[in-house]
Structures are given as C-alpha cells and as structure tokens.
Amino acid sequence: MFSAKLGGILVTGTDNILLSYYVGLIAVGMYSNYVMIINGLTMLINQLVSAVSASIGNLGVSRASKEHQERIFLSVFYDNQSYCFIS
C-alpha cells in the first residue's frame, strides 16, 4: 500500500518539475492555470448533470405519463451527449 501511494505521488507530483525542466517555468504556469480552469468547469458541469440525474429519478417514480417521462429523458440524454462530444 505504501508503494502504491508513493507511486501515485511520483506520477502526479513530478509532472510540473519535469515540465519546468524541459519547457520552462512560464509554460508550466500557463499549463497549470489552464488545467485549473478546465477542472473547475468540469466539476461545475458534473454537479449540474448529477442534479439533473436526480430529477430524472424523481420523475421516474412520479405519476407523470410514460410519454412525458420518455420525452424528458431523451431531451436530457441528448443534451448530455452533445456535452460529451464538445469536451
């Protein structure tokens, strides 16, 4: 277990050191900012998708008609698929 933790730290913790050695510190700073923004947007979109998924689950147990449930499900499914193709 110790070696797995150490390996994870070496893989994820040394990338900036290696990049700064080969590319330069300015490029590493720009890369880190880019990664931080993309991770923030990804977390935000994942929260939205999770909330919508819970709403779909609630709709499934409600008294709404099957056609309405299917129309909402397909709409959300289409929106989610188009997001996946964009990112």
Mean pLDDT for the stretch of residues 22-46: 90
CA of residue 9 relative to chain centroid, distance: 21
Return the structure tokens found at 4: 């797995």
pLDDT tens string 21-31: 888 889 888 98
Q: How many CA atoms lie within 13 A of 43 on its CB side?
A: 6
Asked whether the predicted pLDDT for residue 13 surpasses 60, the reply is: yes
Asked whether the predicted pLDDT for residue 51 surpasses 70, the reply is: yes
